[in-house]
A = this chain, B = another copy of it.
Amino acid sequence: MLAKDNWKVYTYGLENAEELEKIKNVQITTLEEAIKPVEFVVSGIPFTSNGVYVNSPFSKKKITVNEVIKQANGKCFIAGGIDQKIRDKSNQENVKIIDILKREEFTILNTISTAEGAIQIAMEETSRTLHGSKILILGFGRIGKILAKMLSGIGAKVYCEARKNEDFAWIKAYGYELIQLNKIKNSLHQFDVIINTIPSLILTKEYLKKINMECIIIDVASLPGGVDKEFAKQIGIRVISALSLPGKVAPVTSAEIIKETIYNILEEMKN
């Protein structure tokens, strides 16, 4: 995409992505030669899973975090999920680190993909239409807001759980049904689908017992998620853990979002 926009792109560690060879403006080369001529170095999201090696699913090489940071001396380095240790090292090497996962616009645009992915799963896993179904969304943060809008847009009956007076007001303003967490127990039986977005245990044994056996739970919160999955399994309630949806259900859109965020970063650095 960057090459198509007429940037000169140097790559390293993508040798298995064979279609790259045919693209104009793309140069496949060594780490050193790739970084030397550029101003910006872009790597994966997440950058590394173990702190030692760079995530490089399109390469058989083992690329270490240390060698990348060292080569990036004096450059701006953009990747996702960069911990304090790597930041410290980057400071030493005079590398300007930008963690894309901390960019608000990236997170918001990604929630669109997450919400749509959760809706796709709900469509696939239920034997009813979402239109007309009663769907409870746990949590009214970014994902909860977009999910509510989309689900209500295809005709589901949307119930939003929240805990703050401020969120109650927004839920009313947007026209969804409000369910306060402390009164949720008595209404749990009515839902066809429950989507959890809260990254802490919310659907405990006590709550799971109240849920309709036909209901499915989709948990999009990061691990360990918000559902007592073991107990749910025990009593026969289906729980689907849906993580990293953007890359799975809409990889092209994900790439576009990353590209747009990079452009925002470039724009800001010019000013």
Contact = CB atoms under 8 A, between A and B. Distances in A.
Interface of A: 103-106, 108-109, 111-113, 116, 119-120, 123-124, 126-132, 146, 149-150, 152-155, 165-166, 168-170, 172-175, 249-253, 264
Contacts of A153: 150, 152-155
Copies in the assembly, this chain:
4
Contacts of A131: 112, 116, 150, 173, 175
Contacts of A155: 112, 149-150, 153, 173, 175
A127 B264 contact: no
A264 B173 CA distance: 17
B123 A116 contact: yes
A102 to B, nearest CB: 12
B130 A116 contact: yes
Contacts of A249: 123, 129
B146 A150 contact: no
A128 B169 contact: no
5 contacts: A104-B166, A109-B173, A129-B249, A131-B150, A149-B155
Interface of A is mostly: helix
A207 to B, nearest CB: 22
A98 B261 CA distance: 42
Given A104-B165, A108-B166, A112-B131, 10 more contacts: A105-B165, A108-B169, A109-B173, A111-B173, A116-B123, A127-B251, A129-B250, A149-B173, A154-B154, A165-B264
Contacts of A169: 104-106, 108-109
A172 to B, nearest CB: 7
Instruction: Give the top 7 A-B pairs by smallest Cβ distance, nearest first.
Output: A153-B153, A108-B169, A104-B166, A105-B169, A105-B165, A120-B123, A127-B252
Contact of A123 (B112, B119, B129, B264): B119
B129 A124 contact: no
Contacts of A116: 123, 129-131, 154
